[in-house]
Amino acid sequence: MRSVGLLILAMAIVAGLTNAGSRAADDQPAPQSEVNVPAPPPASTVTVTPKDAAPPPSVTIIGASDVHGVLGRDVRSAADEDMGHIVDVLVDRDGHVRAAVIDFGGFLGVGSRKIVVDWNALRFGKIANKKDSITLELTKAQVAAAPEYKEETPIVVLGASGSLQPLQAVQ
């Protein structure tokens, strides 16, 4: 009796393999085992209605000669002294531009240090191309005396006379 059961089991396995081989040849999936496996959920048929869709973005067109980037721009004093170049722009929590970080002093990056100046102390008169510089309303001596900017420490911002407004500390 036991050998008959093994023979039936062997025949079922051979039949299953033969059946699986013919299905694979036909690009059909192999049969699942006898265990009841829940079918995958049908593909989502939710349609996007206009109220769910994001509104179209606003578009502003600015002439190429009306705006210019400032990162990397040379900064000069009103007396045409080299003050360094802008390496970063600092914004407050509301996204308003507050200050510029200037890489000041040194020669070919050696001995330079970063200082922070109030955005209102910068003048952007003629910056039509990358060679034009930005003017800083501070003297070279004032900038040289400024403390160095270091991230994650309180920032000392140099400003033109009377134009700097401190940020309120958040408790």
Q: DSSP string of 59-110?
A: -----TTT----TT-EEEETT--EEEEEEEEEE-TTS-EEEEEEEESSBTTB
Q: DSSP states of 59-70 as a string?
A: -----TTT----
In the chain, where the domains are located: 74-158
| 144, two tokens | 């040289």
CB 115 within 8 A of CB 106: no
Please give the chain's pLDDT, 171 residues, in tens: 544 444 455 555 545 545 544 444 455 555 555 556 666 666 666 555 566 678 888 888 888 777 778 888 899 998 989 999 999 999 999 999 999 999 987 666 677 899 999 999 999 877 667 777 899 999 888 888 889 998 888 888 888 764 444 444 444
Q: How far apart are CA 145 and CA 158, in angstroms?
A: 10
Q: What is the CATH number that goes with domain 74-158?
A: 2.30.30.240
**If we measure between CA atoms, which residue out of 164, 160, 146 comes closest to residue 102?**
146
